[in-house]
Structure 1
Amino acid sequence: MKDFKKYYIIPATPDEVYIALTNPLTIELWTGDTAEMSTEPGSEFSMWDGSIVGKNLEFDPGKKIVQQWYFDGQEEESIVTIKLHPDKGGTSAELRHTNIPDSGYDDFVDGWNNSYFGALIDFYEG
Protein backbone atom coordinates (compact mmCIF):
# COMPACT_ATOMS: atom_id res chain seq x y z
CA MET A 1 0.00 0.00 0.00
CA LYS A 2 1.25 3.47 -0.89
CA ASP A 3 0.29 7.05 -0.10
CA PHE A 4 0.10 10.00 -2.50
CA LYS A 5 0.20 13.71 -1.63
CA LYS A 6 0.16 16.66 -4.00
CA TYR A 7 -0.99 20.28 -4.25
CA TYR A 8 -3.01 21.56 -7.22
CA ILE A 9 -3.75 25.21 -8.06
CA ILE A 10 -7.32 25.63 -9.31
CA PRO A 11 -8.42 28.98 -10.79
CA ALA A 12 -11.56 29.32 -8.66
CA THR A 13 -12.40 30.22 -5.06
CA PRO A 14 -12.33 27.53 -2.35
CA ASP A 15 -16.14 27.72 -2.10
CA GLU A 16 -16.50 27.19 -5.87
CA VAL A 17 -14.09 24.23 -5.81
CA TYR A 18 -15.90 22.72 -2.82
CA ILE A 19 -19.22 22.89 -4.68
CA ALA A 20 -17.60 21.42 -7.81
CA LEU A 21 -16.41 18.44 -5.73
CA THR A 22 -19.58 17.85 -3.71
CA ASN A 23 -22.58 18.77 -5.92
CA PRO A 24 -23.54 15.87 -8.23
CA LEU A 25 -24.75 18.20 -10.99
CA THR A 26 -21.50 20.18 -10.96
CA ILE A 27 -19.43 16.97 -10.82
CA GLU A 28 -21.22 15.82 -13.98
CA LEU A 29 -20.31 19.12 -15.70
CA TRP A 30 -16.55 18.70 -15.23
CA THR A 31 -16.33 14.88 -15.45
CA GLY A 32 -18.82 14.34 -18.28
CA ASP A 33 -20.24 11.32 -16.42
CA THR A 34 -23.04 10.71 -13.95
CA ALA A 35 -22.28 11.07 -10.25
CA GLU A 36 -23.99 10.33 -6.97
CA MET A 37 -22.83 12.59 -4.15
CA SER A 38 -24.15 13.96 -0.88
CA THR A 39 -22.52 16.06 1.83
CA GLU A 40 -24.09 13.84 4.49
CA PRO A 41 -21.36 12.04 6.49
CA GLY A 42 -21.82 8.28 6.16
CA SER A 43 -23.47 8.54 2.73
CA GLU A 44 -22.06 6.55 -0.18
CA PHE A 45 -20.90 8.18 -3.41
CA SER A 46 -20.18 7.15 -6.98
CA MET A 47 -18.32 9.01 -9.73
CA TRP A 48 -17.46 8.29 -13.37
CA ASP A 49 -20.43 5.93 -13.72
CA GLY A 50 -19.26 3.84 -10.76
CA SER A 51 -15.53 3.71 -11.55
CA ILE A 52 -14.92 5.42 -8.17
CA VAL A 53 -17.12 4.48 -5.23
CA GLY A 54 -16.87 4.98 -1.50
CA LYS A 55 -18.23 6.58 1.63
CA ASN A 56 -18.26 10.25 2.63
CA LEU A 57 -16.71 10.67 6.07
CA GLU A 58 -16.36 14.39 6.81
CA PHE A 59 -17.13 17.79 5.31
CA ASP A 60 -16.10 21.31 6.25
CA PRO A 61 -17.78 23.54 3.61
CA GLY A 62 -15.27 25.42 1.50
CA LYS A 63 -12.35 23.85 3.38
CA LYS A 64 -12.20 20.07 3.58
CA ILE A 65 -13.58 16.78 2.21
CA VAL A 66 -12.72 13.35 3.64
CA GLN A 67 -13.81 10.14 1.90
CA GLN A 68 -13.11 6.42 2.06
CA TRP A 69 -12.58 4.89 -1.38
CA TYR A 70 -13.43 1.22 -1.91
CA PHE A 71 -11.25 -1.32 -3.73
CA ASP A 72 -11.70 -5.06 -4.29
CA GLY A 73 -9.70 -7.06 -1.75
CA GLN A 74 -8.90 -3.92 0.23
CA GLU A 75 -6.72 -4.66 3.28
CA GLU A 76 -6.87 -1.24 4.92
CA GLU A 77 -9.18 1.75 4.49
CA SER A 78 -8.09 3.99 1.62
CA ILE A 79 -8.74 7.55 2.78
CA VAL A 80 -8.86 10.62 0.53
CA THR A 81 -8.52 14.01 2.23
CA ILE A 82 -8.82 17.19 0.19
CA LYS A 83 -8.10 20.49 1.96
CA LEU A 84 -8.88 23.76 0.16
CA HIS A 85 -6.76 26.83 0.86
CA PRO A 86 -7.15 30.33 -0.63
CA ASP A 87 -4.31 31.10 -3.06
CA LYS A 88 -3.41 34.08 -5.26
CA GLY A 89 -4.21 31.82 -8.25
CA GLY A 90 -7.59 30.81 -6.77
CA THR A 91 -7.41 27.69 -4.60
CA SER A 92 -4.60 25.47 -3.48
CA ALA A 93 -6.10 21.99 -3.19
CA GLU A 94 -4.05 19.76 -0.90
CA LEU A 95 -4.67 16.10 -1.73
CA ARG A 96 -3.66 13.19 0.47
CA HIS A 97 -4.69 9.68 -0.59
CA THR A 98 -3.61 6.88 1.78
CA ASN A 99 -3.43 3.10 1.33
CA ILE A 100 -3.53 2.96 -2.46
CA PRO A 101 -3.02 -0.64 -3.67
CA ASP A 102 0.54 -1.03 -5.01
CA SER A 103 -0.70 -2.58 -8.26
CA GLY A 104 -2.83 0.45 -9.11
CA TYR A 105 -0.67 3.25 -7.73
CA ASP A 106 0.54 4.65 -11.09
CA ASP A 107 -3.01 4.58 -12.48
CA PHE A 108 -4.28 6.48 -9.44
CA VAL A 109 -1.58 9.14 -9.69
CA ASP A 110 -2.40 9.56 -13.38
CA GLY A 111 -6.11 9.72 -12.55
CA TRP A 112 -5.60 12.40 -9.90
CA ASN A 113 -3.36 14.48 -12.17
CA ASN A 114 -5.37 14.19 -15.39
CA SER A 115 -8.93 12.94 -14.90
CA TYR A 116 -9.72 14.44 -11.51
CA PHE A 117 -7.82 17.65 -10.79
CA GLY A 118 -6.69 18.06 -14.41
CA ALA A 119 -10.32 18.01 -15.58
CA LEU A 120 -11.38 20.37 -12.79
CA ILE A 121 -8.63 22.85 -13.70
CA ASP A 122 -9.60 22.63 -17.38
CA PHE A 123 -13.25 23.21 -16.42
CA TYR A 124 -12.40 26.49 -14.67
CA GLU A 125 -9.88 27.60 -17.29
CA GLY A 126 -12.57 26.76 -19.92
Structure 2
Amino acid sequence: MKDYKKYYIIPAPPEDVYKALTNPATLQLWTGEPAVMSEIPGSEFSLWEDSIVGLNIEFDPGKKIVQQWYFGGDEEELSIVTIKLHPHAQGTSVELRHTNIPDEAYDDIVEGWNDVYFASLLEFYGDE
Protein backbone atom coordinates (compact mmCIF):
# COMPACT_ATOMS: atom_id res chain seq x y z
CA MET A 1 0.00 0.00 0.00
CA LYS A 2 1.20 3.48 -0.88
CA ASP A 3 0.16 7.05 -0.09
CA TYR A 4 0.02 10.03 -2.44
CA LYS A 5 -0.06 13.73 -1.56
CA LYS A 6 -0.07 16.72 -3.88
CA TYR A 7 -1.21 20.35 -4.04
CA TYR A 8 -3.06 21.84 -6.99
CA ILE A 9 -3.98 25.48 -7.63
CA ILE A 10 -7.49 25.93 -9.05
CA PRO A 11 -8.40 29.43 -10.34
CA ALA A 12 -11.74 29.62 -8.49
CA PRO A 13 -12.84 30.35 -4.90
CA PRO A 14 -12.90 27.40 -2.44
CA GLU A 15 -16.73 27.47 -2.29
CA ASP A 16 -16.91 27.00 -6.08
CA VAL A 17 -14.33 24.19 -6.09
CA TYR A 18 -16.19 22.47 -3.26
CA LYS A 19 -19.42 22.65 -5.25
CA ALA A 20 -17.64 21.30 -8.34
CA LEU A 21 -16.50 18.29 -6.29
CA THR A 22 -19.79 17.60 -4.50
CA ASN A 23 -22.72 18.72 -6.67
CA PRO A 24 -23.78 16.00 -9.18
CA ALA A 25 -24.83 18.53 -11.85
CA THR A 26 -21.56 20.47 -11.57
CA LEU A 27 -19.54 17.24 -11.50
CA GLN A 28 -21.17 16.24 -14.77
CA LEU A 29 -20.23 19.59 -16.33
CA TRP A 30 -16.48 19.07 -15.82
CA THR A 31 -16.25 15.26 -16.01
CA GLY A 32 -18.49 14.96 -19.06
CA GLU A 33 -20.26 11.97 -17.47
CA PRO A 34 -23.29 11.59 -15.18
CA ALA A 35 -22.20 11.52 -11.54
CA VAL A 36 -23.73 10.01 -8.43
CA MET A 37 -22.81 12.21 -5.46
CA SER A 38 -24.37 13.36 -2.21
CA GLU A 39 -23.05 15.35 0.74
CA ILE A 40 -24.57 12.83 3.14
CA PRO A 41 -21.93 10.91 5.13
CA GLY A 42 -22.42 7.21 4.53
CA SER A 43 -23.73 7.67 0.97
CA GLU A 44 -21.96 6.02 -1.96
CA PHE A 45 -20.67 7.92 -4.98
CA SER A 46 -19.73 7.11 -8.56
CA LEU A 47 -17.80 9.15 -11.14
CA TRP A 48 -16.75 8.52 -14.75
CA GLU A 49 -19.19 5.63 -15.33
CA ASP A 50 -18.10 3.79 -12.17
CA SER A 51 -14.38 4.28 -12.83
CA ILE A 52 -14.27 5.87 -9.37
CA VAL A 53 -16.63 4.52 -6.71
CA GLY A 54 -16.65 4.74 -2.96
CA LEU A 55 -18.23 5.95 0.25
CA ASN A 56 -18.61 9.55 1.42
CA ILE A 57 -17.30 9.89 4.98
CA GLU A 58 -17.12 13.56 5.95
CA PHE A 59 -17.91 17.01 4.56
CA ASP A 60 -16.96 20.48 5.80
CA PRO A 61 -18.64 22.77 3.23
CA GLY A 62 -16.13 24.85 1.30
CA LYS A 63 -13.20 23.31 3.20
CA LYS A 64 -12.91 19.54 3.23
CA ILE A 65 -14.13 16.27 1.68
CA VAL A 66 -13.24 12.80 2.99
CA GLN A 67 -14.09 9.67 1.01
CA GLN A 68 -13.27 5.98 1.00
CA TRP A 69 -12.38 4.71 -2.48
CA TYR A 70 -13.15 1.12 -3.44
CA PHE A 71 -10.69 -0.96 -5.44
CA GLY A 72 -12.79 -4.07 -5.88
CA GLY A 73 -10.73 -6.33 -3.65
CA ASP A 74 -10.70 -7.26 0.00
CA GLU A 75 -8.36 -4.51 1.13
CA GLU A 76 -7.34 -4.85 4.74
CA GLU A 77 -6.87 -1.10 5.08
CA LEU A 78 -9.33 1.49 3.80
CA SER A 79 -8.16 3.69 0.93
CA ILE A 80 -9.03 7.20 2.11
CA VAL A 81 -9.08 10.37 -0.02
CA THR A 82 -8.96 13.67 1.86
CA ILE A 83 -9.33 16.88 -0.12
CA LYS A 84 -8.77 20.13 1.78
CA LEU A 85 -9.51 23.48 0.17
CA HIS A 86 -7.51 26.54 1.22
CA PRO A 87 -7.97 30.14 -0.01
CA HIS A 88 -5.07 31.13 -2.27
CA ALA A 89 -4.09 34.35 -4.07
CA GLN A 90 -4.88 32.62 -7.39
CA GLY A 91 -8.11 30.98 -6.17
CA THR A 92 -7.91 27.73 -4.21
CA SER A 93 -5.03 25.60 -3.05
CA VAL A 94 -6.29 22.02 -3.11
CA GLU A 95 -4.47 19.66 -0.75
CA LEU A 96 -4.97 16.07 -1.88
CA ARG A 97 -4.02 13.11 0.31
CA HIS A 98 -4.86 9.58 -0.85
CA THR A 99 -3.81 6.83 1.56
CA ASN A 100 -3.55 3.04 1.26
CA ILE A 101 -3.52 2.83 -2.52
CA PRO A 102 -2.92 -0.79 -3.59
CA ASP A 103 0.62 -1.11 -5.01
CA GLU A 104 -0.62 -2.47 -8.34
CA ALA A 105 -3.00 0.50 -8.77
CA TYR A 106 -0.64 3.27 -7.60
CA ASP A 107 0.74 4.45 -10.98
CA ASP A 108 -2.72 4.47 -12.57
CA ILE A 109 -4.22 6.35 -9.60
CA VAL A 110 -1.50 9.03 -9.62
CA GLU A 111 -1.87 9.43 -13.39
CA GLY A 112 -5.64 9.67 -12.95
CA TRP A 113 -5.36 12.38 -10.31
CA ASN A 114 -2.98 14.46 -12.42
CA ASP A 115 -4.01 13.80 -16.02
CA VAL A 116 -7.76 13.28 -15.68
CA TYR A 117 -9.32 14.41 -12.38
CA PHE A 118 -7.49 17.68 -11.70
CA ALA A 119 -6.64 18.29 -15.38
CA SER A 120 -10.40 18.22 -16.14
CA LEU A 121 -11.16 20.51 -13.20
CA LEU A 122 -8.47 22.98 -14.29
CA GLU A 123 -9.80 22.94 -17.84
CA PHE A 124 -13.32 23.56 -16.52
CA TYR A 125 -12.10 26.72 -14.79
CA GLY A 126 -10.26 27.90 -17.91
CA ASP A 127 -6.63 27.28 -16.89
CA GLU A 128 -4.76 26.41 -20.03
Q: TM-score category by the smaller chain? A: over 0.9
1:49 aligns with 2:34: no
Partner SS, residue 125 of structure 1: coil
What does residue 9 of structure 1 align with? 9
Residue in 2 that maps onto 1:25: 25
Matched with 1:97 is 98
| 1:50-95 deviation line (CA, Å, top 9, x unaligned) | 1110000000000000000001222210000000000011000000
Letter aligned with residue 91 of structure 1: T
Q: Deviations over 1:13-71 (max 9, x none)?
A: 00000000000010010000111000000000000011110000000000000000001
Gap regions ≥5 residues in structure 2: none
What is the number of residues matched between the two proteins?
A: 126
> What one-letter code is carried by the residue in structure 2 that aligns with 1:40?
I
Give the 3-state SS of the residue equivalent to 1:85 in structure 2.
strand
1:115 aligns with 2:116: yes
Partner Cα separation in structure 2 for residue 108 and residue 18 of structure 1: 21
For 1:2 and 1:124, locate their aligned partners in 2 and report how far apart those are by CA, in whole Å. Answer: 30
Query: What TM-score comes out, normalization by structure 1 length?
Result: 0.98
What amino acid is the match of 1:87? Answer: H
Identity between Structure 1 and Structure 2 (%)? 71
Within 1, Cα distance between the matches of 2:80 and 2:86?
19
Separation in structure 1 between the aligned mates of residue 14 and residue 41 of structure 2, nearest angstrom: 20
SS of residue in 1 equivalent to 2:21: helix
Aligned to 2:40: 40
How much has 1:120 moved relative to structure 2?
0.2
> Which stretches of structure 1, 4 residues or more, deviate above 6 A after TM superposition?
none
